[in-house]
Structure 1
Amino acid sequence: MNPILERVLLEVSQSELIDLGDLDLASKLIIKSVCRGLNIGRAGIWLLTEDNQSIDCFILIDNQTKLNNITLTRSQFPSYFNALDTERIIAASDAITDAATCEFADIYLRPNAITAMLDSPIRHAGKMIGIICCEYKGGQRHWSHDEQAFVSSLADLYGRAVNAKKVKAYQIKLETINTALESEVDNRTAELKKAINDLQSTQAMLIENEKLAALGNLVAGVAHEVNTPLGISVTSTSHCIDELNKIKKRFVASDLSQQDFEEFIETLTDGLYLIERNLSRAAELVHNFKRTAADQLILEKEYVNLTEYLAQISSPLRPLTRKQGIQLDIQISPELYIHSYPGAIAQIFTNLVSNCFRHAFPSDFIGQKRILLGAEICADEIKMFYKDNGIGLSENVKSKIFEPFFTTARNIGGTGLGMSIVHNLVTQKLGGRIEIVSGLNQGFEVDIYIKSIE
């Protein structure tokens, strides 16, 4: 190829404007390079419509003047379009007489003083999309093979620029989609975080309600249990006051014998002893309830005599089990000491006992209802356990028992949080492990293992 044409072609191929994605800038560069390389003053790029029935002027430069808005149709110039259909270079040395271009003679060539034309197909993705049209003024011109190859190469570079524009458009579209997707992800993430926060708040509220419900049951049971000794104490006090008034009248009337006074002393002593025993019993119930309730609300770590503490926990639970017709027994190894959270332990056993009222003993249960609470040493661990002789669990229920909100008694007020709270307290607060031993009609056992010494 002619060195001048090679140099112009190399400059265009190395220009960043070709791959910038701006088709206007690339088109101007290519047309100006055509004019410089071929030493002509007029050239343009024409693009075929989708139906190949017309060709529109994308850019046309005539001596540095840019022209556009020109359209040529197949119906007007059938011979020219037939030549285009071959997708070959149209090299018309004499455009006025050439079979492919003579149709332009009167309406395009002569008015613009064009005497020779060189049209090279532009291809993109294997399809002809237009032409580079080189127009010469000044008589006939023979287009050399180098000149034809030069224009064909520039047409290929225009195809590269078209591809760059499409790539840029895809990138912009992809960036827009990514931005929209990121925004959507951010929105969904924010919604998810809010939903999680709402769920956690609701769960915390439900757990707190469950704890308060368990304490409420304790309050009701203790209140009922305390009424008995207080009632006896009130009755005994009234009896003592009546006896005192009687002896006082006899004393004022000087009608008090030694035997009457000794009988009064004996009656008053019995009454006061009865009052003392029952008030002590009521005070013990209230004390144990206060300790258990306070421990459940304030979870602090301390050294605890587990033997005494389980006995203390069982005290406010007994009124509840007695009301349900359940026998509550304690089985504890002597003098078990732990450094742990007594409040968590109290809450665990309170939940387990409360849980049995809904699940262990249905209304048609036959036989003595029994619950056994206890603790014993197992190697380097302490095992605390709860056992009942109720209806037990199926394998399906046992596999889901620690899932939050899973319950088989929702119709009678079950929330499905009792065993979930127990599991979390054992594994997270006490740092222990929990095992379930149960089968249908085989009772229910919960074994809790914690370290004996930390």
Structure 2
Amino acid sequence: TTSTNLGETLDLATVMKASQAISGEIVLSKLLERLMKIAIENAGAQKGFLILEKAGNWAIEAEGSVKEDEISVLRSHPLNAEADSGETPKLASAIANYVIRTQENVVLNNATQEGQFTRDPYIAATQPKSILCTPLLHQGKLTGILYLENNLTEGAFTTDRLELLKLLSAQIAISIENAQLYNNLQEFNQNLEQLVSDRTHELSNTLDALKATQSKLVESEKMASLGGLVAGVAHEINTPIGVGVTVASALAEHTTDFASTYKSGKMKRSELEEFLDIATTSSNALLTNLNQAAALIQSFKEVAVDRSSEERRTFIVRDYLDEILIQLKPKLRNSKHSIEIKGDTKMALDSYPGALSQVVTN
């Protein structure tokens, strides 16, 4: 005989739909909103709370109810926080602490008449009916706590609904961890972007050009062999860029001092001449190092294009070999070997530079 349990089929469809909705969100605030709506809807709850650990303490990071469309997230209320009315706590903190400590489910069909939490201040004050509190576990680690209530019906949280939440708990825990990592990464990127924006325009343009070139290499399968070249160029370009930053910083300090002296009306001719000498020397140093960095980037781009395009052209052999060896310098520094190229500096070759680059590298 064959038969189908319609309830189990619907539960499976619900689990799959909810799991996909949860796994498809990576922004922490949006994920918590979606989690609360899914949990309240599928568990048959009137209101719910998501409790997460933050800085060593457990706090309410999301709360919602069927009466309100908006989900409150990332406000970090303590477990014993009072409701908006200020008269009673938001939830039964004793139940939440019990689940945190034991990592066991708590299901109460009538919270005021059964279980060990009847004397909890929240339960005594609000007389709730059905309460469900379940841990969110991933690989044995407690990621969070889901607390749900239904004050209209006794026994609202049936075994089927608890099992459904158990099936979703692993995906919820994974999604929360991923979203927290993503959130931390976003904060790090924002700090990094702020630091980069403080640099001079010349340095920023040079770094952007290098990043753009590197990104193109990563996107192309034919550029997979250019990892060594990227490292070599990055190592070589570090010196002129570092010198440029140092000179620019020193020039900025001198300019600030010069402007202060000028505004005071006490400037001497000797001070003006001294600043002009410093400005001229610094400008020349900046131009020299930026030109050197630009030349390295141009060399890097030329070799990269040759390897990816496989086109034939005429090139100076000696100069091209020097460009290829840029990528080998970091490795050569860690070995007992050195490379010296001898030959006509004007000798040209009509061939495939990309193939020559691959052979010499090998």
Q: TM-score, normalised by structure 2?
A: 0.44
Larger Rg: 1
Q: Which has the higher contact order (CA 8 A, sep 6+)?
A: 2
The structure with more strand, counted as a fraction of residues: 1
Q: TM-score, normalised by structure 1?
A: 0.36
